[in-house]
Each structure stands twice: as C-alpha cells, then as structure tokens.
C-alpha cells in the first residue's frame, strides 16, 4: 500500500469521526436546564461563609463545593418585594420606582417601562423552555402568565400557634402587626410550607420532560416567624450560641437622614433583647430555621443528582436580602448596611468552576443575564445587570463593577470589594472600610485621608432615580412613607 494514500484515508476517517462525534454530542447536549432556588431572608449564616460560627448548613456547603460561592453578593433592595421585582425584571429599583412592597400583579403597572417587560422565567419560556414554579419567587408567588406550570404558594408564613410565644406589643408601643416571633413550632416538618415546596420540586425532577426546563422553588424560611420543629433547635443548643458583634453607640456617627431611613417599626431592638435575655434565643431560632431550610434544599439537590438531569442543569441558590440579628441594634432587614444587603449566592453546573470562591462584588441583578449566558440564550437588551459568567470560569479575574443597593428613592449603597459608600437623597454620606472595619462601625466620611477613595464611588450612583410608583404599598417607616406620599401626590 502506498503510504501517503494510507495516511490520506486515515486522516479522512479521523475527520469523519471528529465530525460525527461533534454532531452526536450536539444532539445529546440540549441547552442546560435551570434549577432556581430562592431562600427568603437568609443572611450569610452558612457554614461555607463567615457569617456565624454556629451555622450548620451541610447541604448548601456541599453545593458550594460543587460550584462557585460568591461571598460579596448584594441585593438591589433590602426588603422582599422590590428585591425580587428587580431580579425578575432585570431592572434596578431606581429605574422602575419599585422601592416598597408590591403585589405580583402590580409590577407591570408600576412604570411604563414594565408594561411589556419579560420576566426572567418568561424569557426562558419564549426560548422553548418548560417553566415551572412554586413558593415565594416574586413577592407572593408570581404574576399571572409567568410560569407554564404554576405550583402557587401556601398562605402566609406557615402554621402559627394559637398564641405567639414572644411577640410583645410593648416593643414599640404598637399593636401586633408583624410576624416577628420565635420558638419551637410546629411538631412536624411535614406541616411546614417549605416541606411541601421541596416535595413539589422533587416530583418535577423525577418526571420526564420533553424540553429543557426552568424549575423554580421559593423557600420561605428563615423569614419570620422564626418557627421550626424541635430537632432543628436541637442542632443549636442554647448554651453553645455565640452572639453577633454589636456596638451600643454605633449610630453616633451617622447622618440624621440615615437614622430616619433606618428606623425600624414593630421589631425588637437589641437593647430590648438584652434586657429580656432573649438575644441568644433569637439567634438560636434563626439558626434552627436556616438548618431546616438547608435540609430541604438538600433534598431537592439529592433529587437532581439522582435524576437524568444531574449533569446538564445549572443550579443557582440565592436569598432576596440579608438580615440583622442584633447587629446595629435591630432584628430586621430594612437597611443599607452589610448584614441586610449581603446575600448568599451559589452557582453550580455545566460551565461553572467547582470548589471556587469569588469575593468580587456582584448583584442579584446579574442573575438574569448570567442565566441567559450560561444557557446559550440571546441577551435581553433591557437587562441592567451584567453576566458574571467570566467569574464562574475564573473567580479571580478583575471585576470593578460595584454592587448597588437602593432603599427608598435616591438613597444608595455602593459596595466595592473593600468599601461601602452610602449616599442619601439630601447629600449626606457614610463610608466604611471593610479591611479595617468589617462591622461598619466607623463612618469614615469625615476622614480626609479616605476622601479620595470614596469620591470615585459617587460616579457609580444610578443616574435615574424614578419617583415612587403608586403601585407600591406604604413605606415601612415615617421617612419612607413621607417620601412615597410626596412622589405620588406630585403625580410622579
């Protein structure tokens, strides 16, 4: 046999093999599925994060090992409704005027920009995905038409005892108007809403789907009331509980408008909890609720791993904002400070680095474009976030875009890798250096040596600051409600 001819045929055969392989591979690799898991009011008290030494979250920890954990991710608004509206529309609160709680079906009418907005799951549906959702995804469940299969949401925040355990109307001299309470309740996990949500998601993962899917489940713990069955409290014995850092006169160096914006109604203060010897019990109950929800997130992850979708599904777990558990004299979200803006965010699946930790600042607003990018869908030109796929491939690359959180109109926090700069509508400011001051106790705004480093963040503030939309519910305190009324009365 003539050698060159042999090489020619061998070469052609190899080419054919390569091209046949590539066709087959394409046929076998449809776009990835998405498993989208929301957790309500979860701060960074995870075993895999540095939030709290008593945290026990083995399931979120193992997901973090499978994927990329973001340790400097932030919400766009520090309360449920506007945070979720921003994530699902891909637009900042300052672009839409959604600063307060908002009914799911009012989002489209909040601003003319939103009349034809394509919510994140809908974008997947329009790209040929099967979309399924249950639980707290938007503020309550989801606007009409967002999910092809609507699992809905059970009412409220789960079963309640006949009489609240700890709620005290004397906290602020007001009648009960909050869900805030803590204690062992109910007796069985099966009576918790999140148990039902997990079972529903597991059933969907056990089904055969004829198209790629976008499966969303929204868990409601650790949102108040901090109720969970006994076994979750047993994981966190009271005498083992460590208290978060706290500085009594912390508010002495912040501007007056910050004091007004951060006024918390109908929630206990840390001083109250100390006087009543309840602080450890609140920490214990919050940790118990987190361990409970971690277990049921873990059951959904187990179902994914046991399914034919294990290798071809992008998993994302996120919380809608953080929560103060006594730091800054409060038990609440509702702030532009670290404990309320910072959230756990974990991605895992095809194309995503494993055992990776990324400390670059990222935003929940980035989820929409990132998920489109990971699934090979065309970008949505309306999105204001940025795909963080480059960080999922290499968590150490340069990333200068800061994370911005907005509370009320024209009050913004800008979080970079090291600093937090806060700018209020009247021009007042706060500035913190996390390298020296991780608890944001020392407002450096008067410190001339720091002025160079914060001035650059002013340029990052949103240019648009839409008035409050009339679609918002009342503001959460006197300052926010006055701001809302002023905007609405002026007719926007």
Q: Select from 234, 249, 243, 353 the least CA-distant residue to 295.
A: 234
Helix (H) or strand (E) holding 304: helix 279-305
Interface positions, 41-60, toward Ca ion (CB under 5 A): 41
Quick one: 314 or 332, whose CB is closer to Ca ion?
332
* Tokens 């006087």, located at residue: 275
Quick one: 41 or 111, whose CB is closer to Ca ion?
41
Q: Which stretch binds Ca ion (CB under 5 A): 90-98, 157-165, 247-255, 293-301?
A: 247-255
Residues marked active site are found at: 80, 139
Quick one: 204 or 419, whose CB is closer to Ca ion?
419
Helices (H) and strands (E) in the chain, counts: 15, 17
Distance CA 341, CA 416 (A): 13
Q: Output the CA torsion sign for 288, 44, 343, 315.
A: negative
Distances (CA, A) of 33 to 112, 196, 209, 375: 32, 22, 10, 8
Task: Establish whether the linkage from the previous residue to 357 is cis, with ω within 30° of 0.
Answer: no
> What's the closest the beta carbon of residue 168 comes to Ca ion, in angstroms?
23
For 427, other C-beta atoms within 10 Å of its C-beta total: 9
Distances (CA, A) of 345 to 5, 42, 67, 150, 202: 57, 10, 11, 25, 21
Count residues binding Ca ion (CB under 5 A).
Answer: 7
Q: Which stretch binds Ca ion (CB under 5 A): 250-258, 284-292, 413-421, 444-452?
A: 250-258
* Tokens 């995503």, located at residue: 352
Q: Which stretch binds Ca ion (CB under 5 A): 74-82, 113-121, 207-215, 342-350?
A: 74-82
Q: Please provide the distance, in angstroms rounded to a whole number, between the alpha carbons at the two ends of the chain.
A: 86
> What's the closest the beta carbon of residue 341 comes to Ca ion, in angstroms?
12
**Cβ proximity of 177 and 164 under 8 Å:** no
Phi–psi pair at 71, nearest 5 degrees? -100, 0
Does 253 bind Ca ion (CB under 5 A)? Our answer is yes
* Tokens 């899917």, located at residue: 213
> What's the closest the beta carbon of residue 92 comes to Ca ion, in angstroms?
18
Quick one: 56 or 84, whose CB is closer to Ca ion?
84
Quick one: 253 or 425, whose CB is closer to Ca ion?
253
> What's the closest the beta carbon of residue 443 comes to Ca ion, in angstroms?
5
Query: Which residue is closest to Ca ion by CB?
Result: 80
Q: What residues contact residue 276 under an 8 Å CB cut-off, 6+ apart?
A: none
> What's the closest the beta carbon of residue 58 comes to Ca ion, in angstroms?
23
Interface positions, 436-465, toward Ca ion (CB under 5 A): 441
Sole binder of Ca ion in the list 31, 39, 40, 88 (CB under 5 A): 40
Q: Select from 218, 227, 223 the least CA-distant residue to 154.
A: 218
Q: Output the CA torsion sign for 376, 378, 382, 386.
A: positive
Quick one: 38 or 391, whose CB is closer to Ca ion?
38
Q: Select from 40, 36, 34, 35 the least CA-distant residue to 292.
A: 40
> What's the closest the beta carbon of residue 79 comes to Ca ion, in angstroms?
7
Interface positions, 286-345, toward Ca ion (CB under 5 A): 320
Helix (H) or strand (E) holding 64: helix 58-66
> What's the closest the beta carbon of residue 336 comes to Ca ion, in angstroms?
13
Quick one: 86 or 125, whose CB is closer to Ca ion?
86
Site residues (vs Ca ion, CB under 5 A): 40-41, 80, 250, 253, 320, 441
């Amino acid at each position: 046999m003539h050698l060159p001819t042999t090489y020619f045929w061998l070469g052609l055969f190899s080419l054919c093999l390569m091209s046949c392989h590539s066709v087959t591979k394409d046929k076998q690799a449809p776009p990835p599925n998405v498993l989208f898991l929301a957790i309500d009011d979860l701060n960074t008290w995870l075993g895999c994060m540095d939030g709290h030494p008593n945290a026990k979250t083995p399931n979120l920890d193992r997901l973090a090992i499978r994927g990329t954990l973001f340790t400097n991710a932030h919400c766009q608004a520090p309360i449920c409704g506007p945070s979720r509206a921003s994530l699902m529309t891909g637009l900042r609160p300052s672009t839409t005027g959604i600063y307060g709680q908002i009914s799911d079906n009012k989002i489209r009418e909040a601003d003319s920009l939103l009349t034809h907005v394509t919510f994140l799951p809908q974008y997947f549906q329009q790209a040929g995905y099967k979309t399924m959702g249950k639980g707290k995804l938007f503020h309550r469940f989801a606007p009409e038409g967002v999910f092809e299969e609507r699992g809905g949401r059970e009412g409220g925040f789960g079963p309640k005892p006949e009489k609240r355990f700890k709620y005290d109307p004397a906290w602020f001299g007001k009648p009960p108007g909050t869900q805030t309470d803590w204690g062992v309740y109910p007796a069985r996990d099966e009576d918790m809403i999140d148990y039902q949500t997990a079972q529903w998601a597991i059933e969907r993962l056990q089904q055969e789907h004829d198209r790629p899917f976008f499966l969303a489940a929204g868990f409601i713990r650790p949102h108040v009331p901090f109720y969970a069955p006994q076994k979750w409290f047993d994981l966190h014995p009271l005498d083992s509980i460590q208290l978060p850092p706290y500085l009594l006169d912390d508010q002495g160096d912040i501007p007056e408008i910050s004091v007004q914006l951060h006024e918390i109604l109908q929630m206990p203060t840390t001083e109250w909890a100390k006087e009543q010897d309840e602080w450890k019990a609140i920490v214990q109950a919050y940790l118990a609720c987190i361990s409970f929800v971690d277990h049921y997130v873990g059951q959904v992850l187990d179902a994914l791993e046991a399914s034919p979708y294990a290798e071809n599904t992008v998993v994302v777990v996120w919380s809608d904002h953080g929560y103060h558990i006594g730091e800054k004299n409060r038990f609440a979200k509702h702030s532009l400070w670290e404990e309320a803006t910072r959230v756990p965010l974990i991605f895992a699946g095809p194309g995503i680095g494993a055992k990776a930790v990324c400390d670059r600042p990222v935003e929940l607003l980035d989820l929409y474009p990132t998920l489109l990018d990971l699934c090979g869908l065309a970008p949505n030109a309306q999105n204001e976030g940025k795909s963080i796929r480059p960080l999922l491939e290499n968590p150490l690359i340069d990333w200068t875009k800061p994370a911005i959180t907005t509370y009320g109109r024209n009050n913004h926090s800008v979080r970079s890798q090291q600093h937090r700069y806060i700018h209020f509508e009247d021009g007042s400011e706060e500035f913190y250096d996390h390298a020296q001051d991780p608890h944001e106790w020392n407002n450096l705004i008067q410190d001339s040596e720091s002025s160079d480093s914060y001035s650059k963040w002013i340029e990052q503030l949103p240019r648009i600051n839409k008035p409050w939309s009339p679609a918002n519910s009342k503001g959460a305190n006197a300052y926010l409600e006055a701001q809302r009324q002023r905007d609405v009365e002026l007719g926007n």
